Amino acid sequence: MTPVLAPFSAMMPMGARLAQSVGARIVPIGWRHFPDGESLITVEGDVAGCDLAILCTLRDPDRHLLPLRFAAATAREMGAARIGLIAPYLGYMRQDRRFAAGQAVSAPLFAACLEESFDWLITADPHLHRIQDLAELFSVPTRRVATAPALADWIARNVADPVLIGPDEESRQWVAEVAAQAGCRFEVFRKHRSGDHQVEISAPSRVALTAGTPVILDDIASSGGTLVRTIEQLPPVRESPPICVVIHAVFADGAYARVLAAGARRIVSTDSIPHESNGISIASLLAGAWRSLLETGERRQERREVPGFSRS
């Protein structure tokens, strides 16, 4: 059975690479708005009997959730045998606990909403904190793609004498992995966040950062505060201005311009979210995960209880 990929329009560039890698047929998802703001979703091709993957990033999950559910339901009505979601960026993973009375614990709620429509999920480096495995949230089969090989390859090919910088201790493990694959040094800073836009960064050693090209790695650039504060902690005398490498380019409310103004020579991101900074394709990594799901034909499982995971 030839797999079918149904990209939302913003994801067509990635969709073309992904479909070619897997040998999939493309059936676009049409999305237009009526004057009152309601969406009209169209599955623009035959999907009967197929193994369908819908490609949509969830950088703006509130805006995309209803269209996604409409697309999946329509494809199922048209006879699709199995429907999965490839969401290179998966939103709503941050709120995995109730930190104040009355707050919604959005990570499991959002997961439950998605798996009502989809039979499997693929995403890249989800922003998980206390949750260790997507199986804690999803009963449908999932694949968690690691982007480290793509980041390391880009850095090794494009940056002279790189010194990788992780903005906080949470980043140590994956920054060390990227550094090992790229064959370069790394340093890890310390971060304290006191609000959505208030971040304090401190460097363990400025001396070690005076040589080479600083490459600041961050998994998600949203407000840009972490990148700006990290740039400010670099020694004023150094060989090269810093380069920022980001997995998920959220860049809300002028954040991209603020990071450049802070002194970044260049910002490069993966194409998990369409953005002008995109320079690292992860289509082949996502394709590998999709092929794995196609070959195994995994089905939904009963959600397992994981010690320590609670909605309270």
Mean pLDDT of the chain: 90
Evaluate whether 228 touches 262 at the Cβ level (below 8 Å): yes
**What percentage of the chain reaches a pLDDT higher than 90?**
77
**Stretch 201-210: mean pLDDT:** 59
pLDDT surpassing 80 at residue 162: yes
Burial class (CB in 10 A: 0-12, 13-18, 19+), 238: middle
Q: What pTM was computed for the model?
A: 0.90
pLDDT (tens digit, 9 = 90+) per residue, 66-111?
999 999 999 999 999 999 999 999 999 988 899 899 999 999 999 9
- Other beta carbons within 10 angstroms of residue 39's beta carbon come to 14
Residue 145 in tokens: 């793609």
Distance from C-alpha of 184 to C-alpha of 174, rounded to nearest angstrom: 14
Q: How far is CA 50 from the centre of its chain?
A: 26
Q: Which of 152, 165, 151, 254 is CA-nearest to residue 214?
A: 165
DSSP bridge pairs for 4: 25, 52
Q: Residue 120: CB partners within 8 Å, gap ≥ 6?
A: 82, 84, 85, 140, 141, 142, 143, 293, 298
Structure confidence at residue 201 (pLDDT): 58
Distance from C-alpha of 8 to C-alpha of 22, rounded to nearest angstrom: 18
DSSP-derived secondary structure for 237-272 = S-SS--EEEEEEE---TTHHHHHHHTT-SEEEEETT
pLDDT (tens digit, 9 = 90+) per residue, 123-138?
999 988 788 899 999 9
Distance from C-alpha of 94 to C-alpha of 127, rounded to nearest angstrom: 7
Lowest mean pLDDT of 140-144, 199-203, 225-229, 297-301, name the range.
199-203
Structure confidence at residue 308 (pLDDT): 40
Q: Which of 242, 240, 180 is CA-nearest to residue 217?
A: 242
Residue 184 in tokens: 């370069």
Whose tokens are 């961050």? That residue is 218
Evaluate whether 166 touches 217 at the Cβ level (below 8 Å): yes
All structural domains of the chain: 4-146+283-296 (3.40.50.2020), 148-280 (3.40.50.2020)
Structure confidence at residue 248 (pLDDT): 97
Structure confidence at residue 1 (pLDDT): 73
pLDDT (tens digit, 9 = 90+) per residue, 230-278?
999 898 766 789 999 999 999 999 999 999 999 999 999 999 999 999 9
Distance from C-alpha of 103 to C-alpha of 97, rounded to nearest angstrom: 9
Provide the residue count of the chain.
312
Structure confidence at residue 190 (pLDDT): 77
pLDDT (tens digit, 9 = 90+) per residue, 212-222?
899 999 999 99
